[in-house]
Amino acid sequence: MTLKGKVCIITGSASGIGKAIAERYIADGAKVVIADLRLDAAQATAAELTAKGPGEAIGVEMNVTDEAAVNAGVQAVIDHWGQIDVLVSNAGIQIVHKLEEFPYDDWKKLLSIHLDGAFLTSKACLPHMYKAGSGSIIFMGSVHSKEASPLKSAYVTAKHGLLGLNKVIAKEGAEHGVRSNVICPGFVKTPLVEKQIPEQAKTLGISEEDVVNKIMLGGTVDKEFTTVEDVAEVAHMFAAFPTNALTGQSLVVSHGWFME
Ligand code: NAD
């Protein structure tokens, strides 16, 4: 199971989990597209990872909520490399508030990045995969695709929604050799999570230590954070798996937080 020579678009991959997935794919010889909001950040990550090789990367500016920007970014990849084998729809944000205080604009912004982003990038990539008769789509879900936490109404709603989209694409894509799966990580220490620790401590009136040990890691089997490398390994398996046997699924990688 290798990604050597495969063209893989990863959204939100200038940092965090997406960047680690890009690094894992490049280590296996893939051609990776670092698609992120800011072109300079995307290009800097692409240059850093290309230097490690043996695969290579290019940076593309893409706001996943902007249909024209998504379509232009995907077309740029086709112009450059002529094909798209893997899409990792990973870009995401977190906003926490109690429901009764949740600003409607924040609700819409979060849902748009996670759900419109997944829809628009899939819609743009699928025709190229269908034409080739193969492809793999991976959505970045979360334990919050299957479990709820206070303060995260928008995030939990969005991450649950991805499970539905995933199953539809698995069914529609099957006859074209296209698979779709969701990765559901537990807490991973990225900028997205670092930001939440003081925010949740303030909103819940508890210490930052309690946010980490009781809220974030309280449900794990060993009180450990999941790492970006753990998630990247699962992303590699979903991308490189050779047949339709593995499609429409969601896999929790979380140190045992939420067991199915
Ligand atoms: P991060 O903040 O480190 O990275 C997110 C990336 O997405 C950034 O590079 C950002 O620029 C980009 N981005 C944001 N909005 C965008 C947009 N509109 N268009 C394109 N790019 C955009 O966060 P992360 O922790 O690496 O999160 C990546 C994904 O993993 C998210 O979908 C998140 O919900 C999910 N996730 C994270 C954790 C965790 O604990 N960190 C756990 C489960 C799931």
Residue identifier of the C-alpha nearest atom 36 of ligand 1: 142
Tens digit of pLDDT for each residue in 66-75? 999 999 999 9
Does the annotation count 104 as an active-site position? no
**C-alpha 47: how far from chain center:** 21
Tell me, what's the pLDDT at 216? Answer: 94
Task: Give the Cα separation of 216 and 108 in Å (integer).
Answer: 25
pTM, two decimal places: 0.98
Task: Give the Cα separation of 188 and 251 in Å (integer).
Answer: 15
Residue identifier of the C-alpha nearest atom 8 of ligand 1: 12
CB within 8 A of 118, min separation 6: which ones? 64, 89, 139, 162, 165
Tens digit of pLDDT for each residue in 82-119? 999 999 999 999 999 999 999 999 999 999 999 999 99
Backbone conformation region of residue 12, classed left if phi is above 0, alpha if psi is from -120 to 50, else beta: left
pLDDT band for position 217 (cuts 50, 70, 90)? very high
Residue identifier of the C-alpha nearest atom 3 of ligand 1: 16
Mutation probe of ligand 1 site: the residue of 184, 190, 194 with most atoms within 8 A of C-beta? 190
Closest CA to 137 of 97, 102, 167, 99: 167
Residue identifier of the C-alpha nearest atom 16 of ligand 1: 91
Q: Of all atoms in ligand 1, which is nearest to the CA of residue 66?
A: 18
* Ligand 1 proximal residues by C-beta, below 6 Å: 11-12, 14-18, 36-37, 62-65, 90-93, 113, 140, 142, 185, 187-188, 190-193
Tens digit of pLDDT for each residue in 158-209? 999 999 999 999 999 999 999 999 999 999 999 889 988 998 899 889 999 9
pLDDT surpasses 90 at 64: yes
Q: Range with the lowest mean pLDDT among 33-37, 111-115, 123-127, 203-207?
A: 203-207
